[in-house]
Structure formats: structure tokens, C-alpha cells
């Protein structure tokens, strides 16, 4: 019997990571080819996949792909979705026909990330709070990137079942006067303000813009102003300047971002009683891991009056592997084949 392969993708609002892996009975699929695409350079997912399948390291195995799973940043219904922050309409069944694949399954990107966390190596996770983990208790995975993803895990039979969520679109709830003013500022643009409008890459830029208007907040340095003009990813610029402490306004913006991030994570940890652990994932977390570890995230996470001790008992980790969703999609493809 010839070797069989798995095809997987993790498709977000900015980038799409695609991988081909050996379909072997291993704890973690062996990736033989992987590539990251800028979504803005393509009209949809199909041309990205066609490009990947034409790569020399992939094309020779195209006829023996046994299963395909694509993690997508949006709610999945009847194996189809429209990406929340990109607008692409994706139909898994149609892709299977067009790409001549035996089956294509779509799953929410944070369902995929939730599947992936169980197979991460120790070096791919950094712990913010050890807590007192409870075996088989619920877990939470949350992650800011272009959007704000959330997933929940509950134990069933011999392992965790992952549940997709759109909790990132819940109403933003300020916890102090500065955040009250931020909400009022954002309402002028959006009316209703969700957490994703704040805790995301675009959200960090909105926080920065808000602070520019605050009395006494100061102005960005000339170096930061120039970098913001030259680079498309303004959130990345702000976080880099803040992490290196090169600009006071960028530092304030990231401080506020991380505090709101921690408070939101604490809200959801209470919602699902995440005694099995809270996992902070997404594209932003690995880049700002030292900031997440300085205490500001955890202070906002546990600050809950009568429930601070409960939240202090929940393990909190940062997922350092930016491809955990891709790993989860490969694991789902392997399960489909079985």
C-alpha cells in the first residue's frame, strides 16, 4: 500500500498556513511541506490551495491525499463559512470536488487550535500561572490576531471535545474610567463595540489612536510615526516599539491592550470554570509574551472581588507555536482518515 498524506490549512483574516503531512499513526503528524500565504494576494482559498498543491514537494503526492481539513476564522454551518474579517465564502464540499480530494472538512479555527494544544511540546508553551490544574476539567483557548478567537474544551470519554465559540464578539465591558472613555470613543465609529474591536491587531491600533486624543497622553516619537507610515501592519509596529520601550505612547497602548485582554480571559474562564487551564494563543501572543509575563495580564485576569482566589487557581499558559491551529487541522484530518 502506498504512503498516504493529509492536507490541512489554517485560514485567518490576514494569513493562511497550509501543510501536507504523512498520514501515519503518530502522536503528531509529520509535516513534509508547509507554506504561509498573504490572504490579500489571493481572491479566495481555492487559488491558495491550488498554488500549494502545485509546489514540487507537494505535487508528487497529490494523488494520495487521503483527507483534508481546513481551519477557518468564522462560524461553520453545513461545512461552509464566510470568513468574519475577510469576507471569503468557503464551501468544503465544493472545494473537495474542484481540487479532486476525497473529502474536505471545515472547522472553526479555534476548534482546531483547541485540538492542537494537547499535542504541543513543552517548549511550545510558556506558563504565566501554574495554578492548581484539575484533571479532565474544562479548558479555555483564546487568541487575538486579526480577530479574537475563542474555543472551549470539555472532557468526554477518553479525551477532550472542542466546542467552537464566537465569544470574541461579546460586548466590551470597561472596568475603569479610562476604559469607559475608550468605549465612548469607539462607539462613535461602531455603535455597538465588541471585545474583538479592542482585543485584536486592529484593536491595538484603535487603542493607540484613542490615547492620541487623551489629554496629556503625548505624541508618538518621530521614529514611530515614520515606521507607521512605512509598514502595513501598524499593530506589529506599535507592539515592537512598546516591547523595546522606544515610545511612551506605544507602551501605554500595549499596557491597556494587555489589561483588557486579561480581563476578557478572566470573564471567559469564570464562564466555563476553566480549571483545566487557560491557553492564550493567536498571532499576537507569542510576539508579546514578555509583556504577558510581566504581571499586568494576570492582575486583570484575577481581579474579580469574591472570585479572585478561584481565578488564581486556574493554570494560564501562552501558546508559543503560531501554527497550533494548523496542527489541530492536521489532527482532525488524521481522525477523518481513521
Of residues 303, 301, 290, 216, the one with CA closest to residue 254: 290
Query: Phi, psi at residue 68, to the nearest 5°?
Result: -140, 135
Of residues 303, 299, 287, 178, the one with CA closest to residue 235: 287
Task: Please give the domain boundaries of the chain with CATH numbers for all domains.
Answer: 5-115+323-337 (3.30.420.40), 126-319 (3.40.367.20)
For the chain, percent of residues with pLDDT exceeding 90 = 91
Encode 163-182: b = buried (16+ Cβ within 10 Å), e = exposed: bbbbbbebebebeeeebeeb
Residue 194 is given by DSSP the state B
> Do 186 and 194 contact (CB within 8 A), yes or no?
no
**Who's near 43: CB < 8 A, 6+ residues apart?**
none
For 77-131, write each residue's pLDDT tens digit. Answer: 999 999 999 999 999 999 999 999 999 999 999 999 999 999 999 999 999 999 9
Of residues 138, 132, 115, 169, the one with CA closest to residue 272: 138
For 123-181, write each residue's pLDDT tens digit. Answer: 999 999 999 999 999 999 999 999 999 999 999 988 999 999 999 999 999 999 999 99
For 273-283, write each residue's pLDDT tens digit. Answer: 999 999 999 99
What is the C-alpha separation between 137 and 154, in angstroms, rounded? 7
Query: Phi, psi at residue 115, to the nearest 5°?
Result: -70, -35
Q: Is the predicted pLDDT of residue 1 greater than 60, yes or no?
A: no
Q: Could you tell me the pTM of the whole model?
A: 0.95
Alpha helical stretches, state H, 99-247: 109-116, 177-190, 201-213, 222-230, 234-243
Query: Phi, psi at residue 104, to the nearest 5°?
Result: -125, 125
SS3 label, residue 43: coil
Of residues 98, 195, 156, 149, the one with CA closest to residue 276: 156
pLDDT of the residue at 154 = 97
> Do 110 and 151 contact (CB within 8 A), yes or no?
yes
Cα angle 312, 111, 207 (rounded to 5 degrees) comes to 60
Mean pLDDT for the stretch of residues 302-310: 94
Amino acid at each position: 500500500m502506498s504512503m498516504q498524506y493529509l492536507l490541512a490549512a489554517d485560514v485567518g483574516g490576514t494569513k493562511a498556513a497550509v501543510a501536507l503531512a504523512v498520514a501515519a499513526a503518530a502522536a503528531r503528524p509529520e509535516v513534509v511541506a508547509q507554506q504561509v500565504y498573504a490572504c490579500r494576494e489571493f481572491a479566495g482559498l481555492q487559488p491558495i490551495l491550488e498554488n500549494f498543491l502545485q509546489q514540487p514537494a507537494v505535487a508528487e503526492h497529490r494523488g494520495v491525499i487521503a483527507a483534508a481539513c481546513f481551519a477557518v476564522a468564522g462560524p461553520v454551518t453545513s461545512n461552509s463559512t464566510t470568513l468574519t474579517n475577510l469576507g471569503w465564502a468557503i464551501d468544503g464540499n465544493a472545494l473537495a470536488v474542484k481540487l479532486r480530494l476525497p473529502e474536505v472538512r471545515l472547522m472553526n479555527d479555534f476548534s482546531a487550535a483547541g485540538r492542537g494544544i494537547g499535542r504541543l511540546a513543552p517548549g511550545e508553551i510558556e506558563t504565566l500561572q501554574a495554578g492548581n490544574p484539575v484533571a479532565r476539567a474544562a479548558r479555555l483557548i483564546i487568541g487575538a490576531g486579526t480577530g479574537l478567537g475563542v474555543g472551549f474544551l470539555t472532557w468526554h470519554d477518553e479525551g477532550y471535545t472542542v466546542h467552537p465559540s464566537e465569544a470574541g464578539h461579546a460586548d466590551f465591558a470597561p472596568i475603569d474610567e479610562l476604559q469607559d472613555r475608550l468605549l465612548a470613543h469607539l462607539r462613535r465609529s461602531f455603535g455597538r463595540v465588541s471585545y474583538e474591536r479592542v482585543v485584536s491587531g486592529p484593536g491595538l491600533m484603535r487603542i493607540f489612536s484613542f490615547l492620541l486624543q487623551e489629554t496629556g497622553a503625548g505624541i508618538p516619537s518621530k521614529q514611530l510615526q515614520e515606521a507607521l507610515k512605512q509598514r502595513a501592519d501598524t499593530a506589529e509596529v506599535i507592539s515592537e516599539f512598546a516591547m523595546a520601550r522606544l515610545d511612551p505612547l506605544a507602551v501605554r497602548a500595549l499596557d491597556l491592550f494587555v489589561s483588557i485582554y486579561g480581563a476578557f480571559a478572566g470573564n471567559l474562564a469564570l464562564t466555563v470554570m476553566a480549571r483545566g487551564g487557560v491557553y492564550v494563543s493567536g498571532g499576537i501572543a507569542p510576539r508579546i509574551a514578555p509583556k504577558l509575563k510581566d504581571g499586568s495580564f494576570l492582575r486583570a485576569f484575577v481581579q474579580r472581588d469574591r472570585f479572585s482566589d478561584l481565578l488564581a487557581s486556574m493554570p494560564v499558559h501562552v501558546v508559543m507555536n503560531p501554527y497550533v491551529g494548523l496542527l489541530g487541522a492536521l489532527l482532525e484530518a488524521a481522525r477523518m482518515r481513521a
